[in-house]
Amino acid sequence: MESRQLGRRSLRAALLAVTMVGGVAACTSAPSTSDSAADAGASAGASQAAGGGTYTIWDPYPQFDDSSDWVKLLTQCGTDAGVTVKRTGYDTTDLTNKALLAAQQGNSPDVLIVDNPVVSTLADAGVLTTTEESKLDTSAISPNLLAAGQIGGKTYGVPIGANTLALFYNKEVLKKAGVDAESVKDWASLTAALEKVKAAGKKGITFSAIGTEEGSFQFLPWFWGSGAQLTKLDSAEGVAALSLWTDWVKKGYAPNSVINNTQTTSWQEFATGDFAFAENGTWQLGNAKKAGFTYGIIPIPAKDGGTAPAPTGGEFVSMPVQQDTGRYATTQKLVTCLTSTDNSYTTDTTLSYIAPTDAVQTKQVEQNAELKVWVEAVKAAKGRTSDNLGTKYPKISEPMWKAMQAALSGSQPPQEALTEAQTAAASATQ
């Protein structure tokens, strides 16, 4: 395997793409619990120069310190491979920026765990090895999850786990409104439920429609659930999805605050106990248990029934390109250890992720029946950069969230807003 040079895209373009699709799901931003950025970059280069005992791992979990199960697992995997692991945790966007800069300087870490939407950005910039080069086994990974790390017919890493979106509901609110949550099977039945809730004096549904990637992330289940494709934002199906949200706000089924809501502030609205439904993710399970009212969870329904494809959150374990390709064999052992069936169960439980393999998903549900709906949601989910969109995705997502904002604020009707968005996206992705 020959060492490759960074190319195909400018570093500036790669950094811009990273900023636009930075993590919107479960990862926590916090100061690093280990080395400084400069020390981490230097240590990567030093470990390569040493040619042996120390292998570097960068991850987006700065909330975990050396006493955590996560860091203990990294250490154990290093011991099993006969090497010492030097780990550094960054917040998601900072991690990816550092990875791009380290690759440019020729001192990439041996293992890079990175948010799935930016895998294609790093791959296109020449930062990552393919699984063919790294000899990583992906045969047991669910194809829809693996697709988030694929571009141009090649795969760049292994998903460590996934989270996604579903609908939390307040059982007490629905009971008072005479609504059975299990009757919500499609858009029509959900809207009918919201109408009953409003008539009973409560609030319908809260979600995040903020003008950032976070808003796009929450809109995608409805967009994809209509049958729309990201390559045609202004299709009849796409307009139907945006019209659904717009009508909910107009009729008072969803609050005007959704236009500024992040996933966190949307959850805080649901936690008041006044709302029937909230669109949110796996990472809120802990908060749900503290909410003070009984809750349930159902998949987000597609327009005509079934589970809508929701976007996947979560990270890929990847192997950056190294000048010394002799390091790959040991690095492959580290990655295989981290993503093994036994370790995947422990890790995904720690991270509130659904595992990427059927075997571990089954074990998760056996241990916690509440995860069944999330496994179903993950099985139906898809990556934002899937369908071979790769680095085109952020150039489509931004016009889409701008259209959402325009429609929800009343400044443009959904059709006009999405037609304008499609023109902008088509121009940006030519």
- Locate 100 and state its tokens: 């791009």
What would the pLDDT profile of 1-25 be if each residue is shown by its tens digit? 333 444 544 455 555 555 555 556 5
Strand runs labelled E in 187-333:
203-206, 275-281, 295-298, 315-318
Residue intervals of the chain classified under CATH 3.40.190.10 are 11-163+313-380, 165-310+389-428
Residue 234 region, left (φ>0) first, then alpha (ψ -120 to 50), else beta? Answer: alpha
- Rounded to whole angstroms, how far apart are CA atoms 366 and 377? 17
- Locate 362 and state its tokens: 């089954």
Q: Give the chain's end-to-end CA distance (angstroms, integer).
A: 33
| Fold entry, domain 11-163+313-380 | D-Maltodextrin-Binding Protein; domain 2 (3.40.190)
- The per-residue pLDDT for 198 is 98
- Rounded to whole angstroms, how far apart are CA atoms 261 and 24? 13
- Residue 151's φ and ψ, nearest 5 degrees, are -155, 135
Q: What is the pLDDT along the chain (430 residues), one digit of tens a residue?
A: 333 444 544 455 555 555 555 556 544 333 333 343 334 444 444 344 334 599 999 999 998 999 999 999 999 999 999 999 999 999 877 898 899 999 999 999 999 999 998 899 899 999 999 999 999 999 999 999 999 999 989 999 999 999 999 999 999 999 999 999 999 999 999 999 999 999 999 999 999 999 999 999 999 999 999 999 999 999 999 999 999 999 999 999 999 999 999 999 999 999 999 999 999 999 899 899 999 999 999 999 999 999 999 999 999 999 999 999 999 999 999 999 999 988 999 889 888 899 999 999 999 999 999 899 999 999 999 999 998 899 999 999 999 999 999 999 999 999 999 999 999 999 999 8
- The amino acid at residue 422 is Q
What would the pLDDT profile of 44-78 be if each residue is shown by its tens digit? 443 443 345 999 999 999 989 999 999 999 999 99
- Rounded to whole angstroms, how far apart are CA atoms 118 and 103? 15
Pairing of strands 203-206, 275-281: parallel
- The per-residue pLDDT for 349 is 85
Sequence-ordered alpha helix ranges (H) in 158-256 = 171-177, 187-199, 213-225, 236-250
Domain 165-310+389-428 has CATH 3.40.50.2000: no
- The per-residue pLDDT for 87 is 97
- The per-residue pLDDT for 24 is 61
- Rounded to whole angstroms, how far apart are CA atoms 273 and 171? 10
User: Can you give the pTM of this predicted structure?
Assistant: 0.84
- Rounded to whole angstroms, how far apart are CA atoms 381 and 378? 5
Return the exposure string of 40-56: e unless at least 16 CB atoms fall within 10 Å of the residue's CB, then b: bbebbbebbeeeeebbb
- Rounded to whole angstroms, how far apart are CA atoms 157 and 75? 20
* CA nearest neighbour of 254 among 274, 271, 228, 234: 274
